[in-house]
Chains A and B, each alone.
Chain A
């Protein structure tokens, strides 16, 4: 990717002057005259001497009409093919330039394109013009459809004179803001490649306004929240207009959850409902005695509430997946159904109950963390290439809150997930005040070694028998939890792999990489099944849709793309009013309707998948959002951030006042400060003790689980 130098260093200075060859003598005279008229007398006399022309000859034909138009006309007519070629060169250079400056440079390209096209048309080289237009129109097709249509009408110089658009383009200079270094880069590229005709067009058509030293003002302004800035940022990256995105997002998809799974779950839950109470009781006894019985009661109460979103989901077709499905492990599903009966309904802004796992002595080393599906294991990826599994169950549940007065004990949260199996806290050390005081038993830790670089992402399979990890070394490794060993090593990415995600039923997984691709794999094949190409920068994260045939990926290019796994096609681009900095995490709700994303711009966005529109921009965090997760019935959303806090959001409330873009604007206008108005849909914000939150999610019983590395500010 060290682009510029590889291509541009090779000196090829052929274009401009070579093309101007036909009227050599006239050109010299022209130049001489021009020099004189501009007052460069020394240069003029030097040239005169060189050409050894008679001074008298210089007076001749141009004196009357003025040299400048003549000169430019001469240059233009001479250089039509060269212009086209130069434009292509510059475009290639922009595409291979540094990511940070690419948006700005792209912004220059369209005025240049228009200018070049008009110049070529004026030179009456029709074939060149049409070829040029067709060659590069695709670059701007999405963003400037209307202008392209207008331009395509203009094919001759006469038309140009008649067309108001052309006249405006030719008379005005297009103002483009650009940062100092991007500007320097551009000039350097133009000079080093000898793109003289292009430079001419650039000077004629574009006014580069250097605003500041750093690119992308929308990111570091702090005002990043405002919709317009975000939109502008997204446009810079993608070069796509809102209309174009809407058009791209038209395609019909089945957004419902997986039909087959629904059926299986219904069967299990129906079977359980039919079962006699005796069997229920016996089973519950086995699970957790009295507590279990309490849960059962609540589970029964919950039923109607849980049914509601299902009904909503079923409005959209619960189509069968278009991807061949792996076999369903009935045992696991049965367990899931059983657990979901203990699930606490979170409808109605119920305040969350959260357990936190603090990883100690790992400040600056912990790169990733993920909880297993049944919340009994925390897998952590470290920068020293290790993956550590922390068996939460063996270490005992979180402490009972000691500070709670006895009277509150009955109000004990019912949502005690699998993380809290045994109620008596064995690992509780009373009176330890410092975080370091508590060390866990070595038995509760499993160390997996195999990677050769920091482990950036982890993912558990649905049945918690397999863990996937991806690393800086470009490999993805599959670990057997029971075997505690690496079973497979997938090696297809040449660049660091940033993200990995298992599909809902296992078997498939997706990886997101620095090489700007998303790859879809099957665990039994060493080569990827699909290559999803389209992102314009690193892909940071990916996540499967519950119906398995769709895949979401978030990228450094500020956009989130939804892919059809079967066709490997992009079916949605979520970037309108979207993030103004890299997307760091995505999550799709269980009903398959909503997508939540967090970004380096400190915002959490909620999108509606079917329309591809932004629903809500949730701003309260003051650091990069590292994880988002929906609750089981998609009523709440949890987000964990680098600012050492967890926020729980009310999705139902956010959706109830849906489809009101004006209100949305009002919200976002006030939100950025955070003080002007209390953030509207925030249920609770929970602070940790100097522990950035790497992972946060809802368990199957709607308990919030989060993890992070204790990072005291001063060592």
Chain B
């Protein structure tokens, strides 16, 4: 019989595929369950039967898998199959983390079940695992008239399959389209409209004189609805802008780079960026490297407008505001972002060769970054900075004086040119000085408590603490309060700050004649932490920082200006500068 069976298949073939379950396997298993010596016959008889049953169970388990709409066989499938064959299911394998079979080291065919012992107390002390989430559902349009809308729920169109879904165009088109970021026609049209609206729809008022209004308009809602506003609102509100974000950020950067002297274009670029930051769907994170240089340019740029009287100050402030938004949103993900930013700003600030406009932007931006930034970065050098400002102011005033005396020989144009430049510089100095004082005031009176561990600051309206004569200025004049207010104020101004001088012309003239006294009046201390204003500026000028005494434009009007101030600094101009400064406080 054996020989006959042997004759059926080609002899070599019968050896080709060894059975899955061999005699040795059976013997090994027998040993593992305590049967030491299993006869070969028995093992031979058992092996094919075991294999048959095994295959049967696997075939059934695969059926359960298929009906469970899965592609992975689970322990449950096998258990169902076993139950179907009236066999005991396997226990302990259905857990989320079932024990695994591991290969025994050094043996190719020896496996064991890796089932480590678990300390029950450890398990008990562990926090509960998160509860599995209840299945939920969401609905979306898979296709509208055969076209798949580009909503997040649908696969991205870059995928080859997705492209093909759009109506089965020719194959080569598809390959080309894969390489670049494909915008649909509608998206392209929309992008075009937005960019053109931003280019054209520059609010006309910003070119004129209403700078402050413009600044307000940027922050607040525009009064009239122009295409530009509509575009901005669309960018901010519409979620489909998501796909356009790289294009928009590129647009912003290129607008800034190519229109450095065109203030309106810069303003509208910043407004677009603001809208993008408002949008929930536009993710600027990948494009920060592109955008940040542009914004910083708008903050610390040397000259951002074609005509001197344009309000590039507002632009700097708004750009600084945007930087703050960016830092607050992405600062956590990029810890170096703020660091690099402040480094840049401080470098600008510490470089005396940089124009005052850049300094202005740097200070504004640092101030907007928050009281902490002011405390650590700005305040240590603020006193010296203010001091140098005063000197500049002084020199500006002095230098602007001569023309009056000088018989104006030069042609009128050159003279007016010079005059204009002086005005500009004066305005810049005044603005900067006002800003610096504003920063200091805010710091001391508003945020001071944050850093103040000592005695509370005096309330603004109350009398300043009594000052002993020893701490007085070298002039040795005791501060008279109350009745001698005028004189005290005058002295204080003279001793403390040029700003007061600017506001308080008579005292300014007084002190300007003796600049040495001014510098002597400032007692600078190399303090690292500033408890009070006195620490920074010396004891006197506390009162001088209150609005009531210092920032009254009426005083300016009352004073005989002409005698002391240069002609160039006209009354009107000065008062406007004051009012601007006033707006800061």
Chain A residues contacting B80 (CB-CB under 8 Å) are 453, 472, 496
Which of B106-114, B163-171, B266-274, B372-380 faces chain A? B163-171
CB pair A404–B67 under 8 Å, yes or no, is no
CB of A107 within 8 Å of the partner chain: no
Determine the residue in chain A with the shortest Cβ distance to B147.
A351
Docked Cα-Cα span, A456 to B503, in Å, equals 86
CB of B64 within 8 Å of the partner chain: yes
CB pair B55–A181 under 8 Å, yes or no, is yes
Determine the residue in chain A with the shortest Cβ distance to B238.
A402
CB of B8 within 8 Å of the partner chain: yes
Docked Cα-Cα span, A202 to B280, in Å, equals 77
Show 12 A/B contacts (Cβ-Cβ < 8 Å), sorted by A.
A203-B8, A354-B141, A364-B72, A366-B135, A367-B67, A367-B69, A403-B150, A403-B186, A404-B149, A431-B239, A454-B67, A686-B148
CB pair B5–A431 under 8 Å, yes or no, is no
CB pair B52–A383 under 8 Å, yes or no, is no
Chain B residues contacting A404 (CB-CB under 8 Å) are 144, 149, 186
CB pair B165–A687 under 8 Å, yes or no, is yes
CB pair A398–B66 under 8 Å, yes or no, is no
Chain A residues contacting B480 (CB-CB under 8 Å) are none
B interface size (C-beta, 8 A) = 74
Taking A181-B17, A360-B136, A403-B150 as known contacts, 15 extra A-B pairs with beta carbons closer than 8 A to each other, sorted by chain A number, are A351-B143, A351-B146, A351-B147, A354-B141, A355-B142, A361-B136, A365-B135, A378-B137, A405-B186, A431-B280, A444-B137, A454-B67, A556-B63, A686-B165, A692-B69
CB pair A203–B7 under 8 Å, yes or no, is yes
Chain B residues contacting A685 (CB-CB under 8 Å) are 161, 164-165
Main secondary structure of the interface of B (DSSP, over half): mixed
CB of B184 within 8 Å of the partner chain: yes
Name B52-111 residues within 8 Å CB distance of A. Answer: 52-53, 55-56, 59, 63-64, 66-72, 74, 76, 80, 84-85
Which of B152-160, B404-412, B557-565 faces chain A? B152-160
Docked Cα-Cα span, A645 to B143, in Å, equals 12
CB of B225 within 8 Å of the partner chain: no
Docked Cα-Cα span, A275 to B529, in Å, equals 90
Name A548-583 residues within 8 Å CB distance of B. Answer: 556, 582
Chain B residues contacting A456 (CB-CB under 8 Å) are 67-68
Chain B residues contacting A244 (CB-CB under 8 Å) are none
CB pair A514–B49 under 8 Å, yes or no, is no
CB of A185 within 8 Å of the partner chain: yes
CB pair B8–A582 under 8 Å, yes or no, is no
Docked Cα-Cα span, A444 to B134, in Å, equals 13
Which of A1-9, A328-336, A458-466 faces chain B? A1-9
Contact of B165 among A357, A626, A684 (CB under 8 A): A684
CB pair A413–B139 under 8 Å, yes or no, is no
CB pair A184–B135 under 8 Å, yes or no, is no
CB of A538 within 8 Å of the partner chain: yes
Docked Cα-Cα span, A380 to B137, in Å, equals 11
Q: Which residues of B contact A (CB under 8 A)?
A: 1, 4-5, 7-9, 13, 16-17, 19, 48-49, 52-53, 55-56, 59, 63-64, 66-72, 74, 76, 80, 84-85, 132-155, 159, 161-162, 164-165, 167-168, 184, 186-187, 189-190, 238-240, 242-243, 280-281
Size bin of chain A's contact surface: 35 or more
CB of A657 within 8 Å of the partner chain: no
Interface core residue of B64, B142, B149 (most chain A CB under 10 Å): B142
Chain A residues contacting B151 (CB-CB under 8 Å) are 399, 401-403
Q: A496-B80, A689-B153 are in contact. Are A399 and B141 (CB under 8 A)?
A: yes
Chain A residues contacting B184 (CB-CB under 8 Å) are 403
CB pair B69–A687 under 8 Å, yes or no, is no
Q: A185-B52, A411-B145, A642-B71 are in contact. Are A405 and B140 (CB under 8 A)?
A: no
CB pair B1–A196 under 8 Å, yes or no, is yes
Chain B residues contacting A405 (CB-CB under 8 Å) are 186-187, 189-190
Which of A120-128, A162-170, A387-395, A475-483 faces chain B? A387-395
Chain B residues contacting A430 (CB-CB under 8 Å) are 239, 280-281
Q: A2-B85, A203-B8, A408-B186 are in contact. Are A354 and B67 (CB under 8 A)?
A: no
CB pair B149–A401 under 8 Å, yes or no, is yes
CB pair A431–B135 under 8 Å, yes or no, is no
CB of A651 within 8 Å of the partner chain: no
CB pair B59–A403 under 8 Å, yes or no, is no
What is the minimal beta-carbon distance from B47 to any residue of chain A, in angstroms?
A: 10
Name A175-229 residues within 8 Å CB distance of B. Answer: 180-181, 183-185, 187-188, 190-191, 196, 199-200, 202-203, 208, 210, 213
CB pair B48–A188 under 8 Å, yes or no, is yes
What is the minimal beta-carbon distance from B307 to any residue of chain A, in angstroms?
A: 39
CB pair A362–B67 under 8 Å, yes or no, is no
CB pair B186–A355 under 8 Å, yes or no, is no
Per-residue CB contact flags for chain A residues 685-714 toward chain B (1 = under 8 Å, else 0) read 111111010100000000010100100000
Chain B residues contacting A399 (CB-CB under 8 Å) are 139-141, 151
CB pair B9–A210 under 8 Å, yes or no, is yes
Determine the residue in chain B with the shortest Cβ distance to A582.
B66
CB pair B17–A360 under 8 Å, yes or no, is no
Contact of B146 among A185, A407, A433, A683 (CB under 8 A): A683
CB of A56 within 8 Å of the partner chain: no
